[in-house]
Structure 1
Amino acid sequence: MREATISDHGFLADGHSAVLVDRTGSVNWWCPQRFDAPSVFGRLLDPEAGHWSIRPVHDARTEWAYLPDTLVLRTVHTTAQGAVAVLDALALEPGARGHDVGLRSPRLLARIVHGLSGAVSMRLHYRPRFEYGRVVAYLHEQDGVLIASAGAARLTLRASVPLTCGEGEAHADFIVRNGQTETFTLAYAPAYDTDPQAEHDAQDVVDNAASGWLSWLNLHEYQGLYREQVRRSALVVQGMTYRPSGAVVAAATTSLPEQPGGERNYDYRFVWARDFSFTLEALWRAACSDEVNRQFAWLGRAIGRIGDDPVPIMYGVAGERDLTEHRLEHLAGYADSRPVTIGNDAWQQRQTDVPGEALGAAWLMREHLDDPLPADVRQLLRALADRTVTDWRRPDAGMWEARDTQRHHLSSKVLCWTALDRAVRFGARLGEPADIARWADARDQVRDTVLTRGWNASLGAYAGTLDGDDLDASVLLMPLVGFLAADAPRMRSTISVVEQRLAHEGLLRRWEGDPAGFVICSFWLVGCLALSGERDRAQRLFEDLVGRANDLGLFAEQIDPYTGEQLGNFPQAFSHIGLINAAGGLSDLVGSTAGMGAPPDHRIPRD
């Protein structure tokens, strides 16, 4: 049987963790304790690292879709003998609705098989492997349930069909006839938890999960263009939110490669401060204003007081700092792409754009933040502005997190300008001591530096680095954050050159030599084209990009422009955030009511 590709997977979530299940019915990824915890099913990264499949024995044609406006997945398998539907859902706390969805989820996966016609032979293969596939669990039956335990974890499987146990795995062959239903629930608990795991009715779990996700989405009534795609992406972003803290992870997975067989395989199950402003804008666009103060509270706790070290760029889902990277040498990697890593050493980098993302988000959300601003938020924003006054002159790793030499990345300077510009605009709202004159002077110095040293006349574009001759898609942020108008002559030329040199079939690479199109950069191009007056072409590009999602509407980080293969960690919050923001920007231009109100006033200057 063909191994599932990255885009052959659906995504389930419960506010703490995520499941990836492929279209054949195999659960290939689940870290049930929380997003960045060890996996119990890791087949995504190695065939021997554990899975749980429920699939037809004979060849089947498969169609799948989410139940409308939910993260409950329905897969229909049609064989020569008949058809079955499989429903998959991660459980939410019973009765949890609206903003309580995911806060206290029971860590349970429910699977239901319904017979639709005929009599379909089905096969179950349950093969848990704890600690990223290192540990073979001991399986034993107790009171009619199958318990798998080893190390720090315990799984309890309840099935309506008889199971046959082997060494570290279980099997079942069964027939599902028209109108018949078979149910399965798998519950996680720490091994040291002595409380018995309660029995859950699988249908109740599925119904409650569907109602919970729908109730959350219905609190946020987006009215702009591309409503269906925006609502789906908003659900995906919410599904990647660790609800106890409110932090949004970059992706649900680790080490899915940017290029098959390549080495750029990173752990993305953490929270990047860089994503913060883009995430908040997406929540604003999708009319999720109530999340704003919660997000700022998380950011303030995570950053803490700013000292002499670089402002931290990323955190664990509960705000942890030390994310030291190491390799899992026993795993073969997706499509033999090594290394497989957990942790991410980018946590130690200097990235001077971080204050710009935080202050930019605060300015965008200013009408939805508490008034007056809480003391800790004022202190944080002042400290970030003060730090930017000195840090903007320093080289950094850049937003693409280069692991070789630090450089003077243009996008970092532009985000430093953003931090200082928004701090000046806030003015006295940031409280004392607000050094507005000093911030304004530094802001103007940054702007002059970018305009004079960033422009490369030979390229006819703003380069990726000061005094450089390299192209970088991140320069498209200049009009999106209000540094320059998109229709200013040099910016228009930059957009054209970047598109000509870095794009193929609408997919925009980050730099020349990048192996695939980076999805959020492609959506940035949509925004720039729209702002420069090419609205029709922007909409065509947007619709083409949306059509490149998998058939569940999910995006990875990158897409190969020649094969259409999705690459990188999956699903990728950045990609879905880019979709939401681009759709909102297009809605602004045609006068639709998008999100929570009028677009932000950047007072964009011209060059």
Structure 2
Amino acid sequence: MGRGRIAEHGFLADGRSAVLVDRAGSVNWWCPARFDAPSVFARLLDDDAGHWVIRPEGRFSTERAYLTDTLVLRTVFSTPTGSVAVLDALALAPGARGHEVGLHSPRVLARVVRGLSGEVPLRVHYRPRFEYGRMVPQLVQQDEAVVASAASARLDLRATVPLECAVGEAFGSFAVRAGETRHFTLGYAPAYDAGPPTVLDAEQVIDNAVAGWRSWMGLHDYRGRYREQVRRSALVVQGMTYRPSGAVVAAPTMSLPEELGGERNYDYRYAWVRDFSFTLEALWRVTCTDELNLHVGWLTRSMGENEGIVPIMYGVEGERDLTEHHLDHLAGFAGSRPVLLGNDAWRQRQNDVHGEPLSAAWLMREHLDPMPPDICRLLRGMAERAARDWHLPDAGMWEARDAERHYVSSKVQCWTALDRAVRFGSRLGDEADLARWAVARDEVRRAVLTRGWSDRLGAFTAAFDTDELDASVLMMPLVGFLPADEPRMRSTIRMVEERLSHDGLLRRWAGDPAGFVICSFWMVSCLALAGERDRAGQLFERLAARVNDLGLFAEQIDPYSGEALGNFPQAFSHIGLINAAGDLTDLDAGSHELPPAPGRRIPAHQEGRPAGDH
């Protein structure tokens, strides 16, 4: 069960939701209300969970590409009798340009079929299924539309070809000659909203989406190394941004497996604080402060004041209760079960969460002067918690669901929180306990250097007092805990590469079923920072070539088969590409900014007051 291969899908977005459409013209995923809302098409997870196909009858071959600098997909179907192009786009608000792109969504999916040569017979099969395939809607012809309604949702399908309704589905057959077009629009509205779905012209939807996405790209003219790959990845990350709030979802999909037939199938349609600083660094390289402020505003509102464990993830509008449910009626992608809705990682203690807000704020410090009071309170709170809780075990950044442990990466991020808080100095206000934070920072550092290092292994390890390797320790030079060319760090990089890497893809730990894309890009940055820039560039290019034909990364890649695995597309993977390219660019220019390594004096102009030696 499940449809095709993960990497066969293209990605459409409108600032609130996403569509995945495969090479055979089948829309296999859409949750139109917002990224984490119930689906109307979920064929990704079960053949009976809803789809919408437009494709030629009989044999055909496929070529596809995004229109330049857009998320408008053009698929060319070639048949023995001719060829057609199908253009697919989620509608943007009419006239939305630049930073307005995605702020408002008409919630309309448009599909335009254009004849290119000869004559091509095609067919339409429309089979909506609401609530993750649980509900079969009634379909009726009404006001020139096929109206599907059930429970709390309504879909209106409008087409310039005749459609025949049956129970829960509609069919149509038509032919297109060179120069002819056929138009389809599918509009969504809540059933109890003020009115029916928005009616838009399909050609205008396509044209407006092209102009809108190009206007956004025109504001972000990255000129560094690997320009085209970076710009495409930036557009993908923007497509995964819930524009009303500024939240960036980890992926627009749920329960796509990390291993085919396996059980690690999680819902990623939420925003993780862990991803936050990496996301801001990526956007900082390609965007402007207006959008950075939007993202910081989302984090500040979502995190707010916390009692007890700090949530490590949120819904796109800041929701905290993301309780996990099993959807037992779904077969799962390639039979991979369970299919999970929600994500119980929201309950976990993950101590690295304290470091990300402070790391991101430090990156943006020039744009946070004067420091807004709400951000100041948030950063002080994170520093306080890091000082208080760094010695506690946690679930770690890979969200282990067994016993808590003293993960090295979590300790390092607590160090990061305290280090950046001390650097901010008096800018965090009179309540900032800088002296105590500095003492705690140095305690964390000593603990990591002693209990996190294995003489037998010759590397920093996954957790205190073990000999287990973990790719998360590659973050240490990226946050400035140790220079990449420091002997222990260099040895760690070598051991991680030797034991966890295959064909350039880096697993998170021994036994991880596939290469984790962002870890692989961390290796690029580490090699470059250690002085191996040529090898780093070669590795970057090998990794960048692992995208699908549309430039999209999944979360993981099988290093032997090349199969894309995990939720798709994955923001973390594209963020890794952007940041690695930026690191290589900065190093070429001699302008790479990393926090000074411990033991080196921090320039006084970089913080609120002189800091002294670490």
TM-score exceeds 0.5: yes
Report the counterpart of residue 159 of structure 1 in structure 2.
159
In 2, the alpha carbon distance for the partners of 1:2 and 1:477 equals 35
Amino acid at match of 1:366: R
Report the counterpart of residue 33 of structure 1 in structure 2.
33
1:198 positional shift:
3.8
Contact 1:364-1:600 within 8 A present in 2 as well: no
1:368 positional shift:
2.2
Contact 2:108-2:198 within 8 A present in 1 as well: no
Amino acid at match of 1:435: D
Report the counterpart of residue 589 of structure 1 in structure 2.
587
Unaligned runs of 5+ in 1: 593-597
Amino acid at match of 2:550: L
1:143 positional shift:
1.6
Measured against aligned partners, the alpha-carbon deviations of 1:528-561 in whole angstroms (never above 9, x if no partner) come to 0000011011011000001111000000100000
In 2, the alpha carbon distance for the partners of 1:376 and 1:452 equals 37
Matched, 1:262 2:295: no
Report the counterpart of residue 442 of structure 1 in structure 2.
440
Contact 1:476-1:525 within 8 A present in 2 as well: yes
| Aligned pair partner of 1:405 in 398, 403, 421 | 403
1:288 positional shift:
3.3
RMSD: 1.2
Report the counterpart of residue 566 of structure 1 in structure 2.
564
In 1, the alpha carbon distance for the partners of 2:214 and 2:440 equals 47
Measured against aligned partners, the alpha-carbon deviations of 1:3-44 in whole angstroms (never above 9, x if no partner) come to 420000000000000000001100000000000000000000
SS at 2:388's partner residue?
A: helix
Measured against aligned partners, the alpha-carbon deviations of 1:25-82 in whole angstroms (never above 9, x if no partner) come to 0000000000000000000000000000000112111100000010000000111100
Report the counterpart of residue 108 of structure 1 in structure 2.
108
Report the counterpart of residue 600 of structure 1 in structure 2.
593
Amino acid at match of 1:359: L
Q: How does 1:341-352 map to 2 (within 5 A)?
A: 341-352=340-351
SS at 1:442's partner residue?
A: helix
1:197 positional shift:
3.3
Amino acid at match of 2:508: R
1:404 positional shift:
0.5
In 2, the alpha carbon distance for the partners of 1:195 and 1:411 equals 51
| Aligned pair partner of 1:549 in 544, 547, 550 | 547
Report the counterpart of residue 124 of structure 1 in structure 2.
124
Matched, 1:461 2:463: no
Measured against aligned partners, the alpha-carbon deviations of 1:397-435 in whole angstroms (never above 9, x if no partner) come to 000000000000000000000000000000001112011
In 2, the alpha carbon distance for the partners of 1:391 and 1:59 equals 62
In 2, the alpha carbon distance for the partners of 1:96 and 1:51 equals 29
1:193 positional shift:
2.2
Contact 2:515-2:557 within 8 A present in 1 as well: yes
1:113 positional shift:
0.3
In 2, the alpha carbon distance for the partners of 1:236 and 1:337 equals 26
In 1, the alpha carbon distance for the partners of 2:223 and 2:433 equals 40
SS at 1:75's partner residue?
A: strand
Q: How does 1:391-402 map to 2 (within 5 A)?
A: 391-402=389-400
Report the counterpart of residue 325 of structure 2 in structure 1.
326
Amino acid at match of 1:35: F
Contact 2:273-2:353 within 8 A present in 1 as well: yes
In structure 2, the CA distance between the partners of 1:130 and 1:195, relative to structure 1 (3 Å rule), is: same
In structure 2, the CA distance between the partners of 1:252 and 1:382, relative to structure 1 (3 Å rule), is: same
In structure 2, the CA distance between the partners of 1:249 and 1:138, relative to structure 1 (3 Å rule), is: same
Matched, 1:19 2:32: no
Report the counterpart of residue 337 of structure 1 in structure 2.
336
In 2, the alpha carbon distance for the partners of 1:314 and 1:600 equals 28
Measured against aligned partners, the alpha-carbon deviations of 1:137-189 in whole angstroms (never above 9, x if no partner) come to 10000121110000110000000000011111001110010000000000000
Report the counterpart of residue 611 of structure 2 in structure 1.
none
Matched, 1:248 2:241: no
Measured against aligned partners, the alpha-carbon deviations of 1:455-510 in whole angstroms (never above 9, x if no partner) come to 10111100110111100000000000000000010100000000000000000000
1:2 positional shift:
10
Matched, 1:317 2:310: no
Q: How does 1:361-376 map to 2 (within 5 A)?
A: 361-369=360-368, 371-376=369-374
Which stretch of the first structure deviates more once superposed, 360-369 or 310-319?
360-369
Report the counterpart of residue 55 of structure 2 in structure 1.
55
In structure 2, the CA distance between the partners of 1:567 and 1:2, relative to structure 1 (3 Å rule), is: closer
Report the counterpart of residue 384 of structure 2 in structure 1.
386
Amino acid at match of 2:597: I
1:84 positional shift:
0.3
In 2, the alpha carbon distance for the partners of 1:250 and 1:73 equals 22
In 2, the alpha carbon distance for the partners of 1:503 and 1:109 equals 41
In 1, the alpha carbon distance for the partners of 2:220 and 2:505 equals 30
In 2, the alpha carbon distance for the partners of 1:422 and 1:569 equals 32
Amino acid at match of 1:573: A
1:365 positional shift:
1.0
Q: How does 1:378-527 map to 2 (within 5 A)?
A: 378-527=376-525
Contact 1:247-1:318 within 8 A present in 2 as well: yes
Contact 1:488-1:606 within 8 A present in 2 as well: no
Amino acid at match of 1:365: M
Report the counterpart of residue 90 of structure 1 in structure 2.
90
Contact 1:357-1:415 within 8 A present in 2 as well: yes
In structure 2, the CA distance between the partners of 1:2 and 1:178, relative to structure 1 (3 Å rule), is: farther
In 1, the alpha carbon distance for the partners of 2:599 and 2:67 equals 47
Report the counterpart of residue 147 of structure 2 in structure 1.
147
Amino acid at match of 1:511: W
Contact 2:478-2:594 within 8 A present in 1 as well: no
Amino acid at match of 1:114: R
1:604 positional shift:
1.9
Amino acid at match of 2:374: D
In 2, the alpha carbon distance for the partners of 1:226 and 1:522 equals 17
In 1, the alpha carbon distance for the partners of 2:275 and 2:2 equals 35
SS at 1:135's partner residue?
A: coil
Relative to the length of structure 1, the TM-score reads 0.98
Report the counterpart of residue 595 of structure 1 in structure 2.
none
Report the counterpart of residue 609 of structure 2 in structure 1.
none
Unaligned runs of 5+ in 2: 601-614
In 1, the alpha carbon distance for the partners of 2:59 and 2:424 equals 62
Contact 1:283-1:289 within 8 A present in 2 as well: no
Amino acid at match of 1:312: P
1:600 positional shift:
2.9
In 2, the alpha carbon distance for the partners of 1:33 and 1:323 equals 17
In 1, the alpha carbon distance for the partners of 2:554 and 2:197 equals 35
In structure 2, the CA distance between the partners of 1:550 and 1:108, relative to structure 1 (3 Å rule), is: same
Report the counterpart of residue 177 of structure 2 in structure 1.
177
Contact 1:484-1:606 within 8 A present in 2 as well: no
SS at 1:136's partner residue?
A: coil
In 1, the alpha carbon distance for the partners of 2:19 and 2:337 equals 22
SS at 2:351's partner residue?
A: coil
Amino acid at match of 2:516: F
In 1, the alpha carbon distance for the partners of 2:139 and 2:380 equals 56
How many corresponding residue pairs?
600
SS at 1:353's partner residue?
A: helix
1:606 positional shift:
7.2
Amino acid at match of 1:291: E
Contact 2:3-2:333 within 8 A present in 1 as well: no
SS at 1:205's partner residue?
A: helix
Contact 1:411-1:477 within 8 A present in 2 as well: yes
1:291 positional shift:
1.6
1:199 positional shift:
2.4
In 2, the alpha carbon distance for the partners of 1:417 and 1:64 equals 47
1:289 positional shift:
2.8
Report the counterpart of residue 603 of structure 2 in structure 1.
none
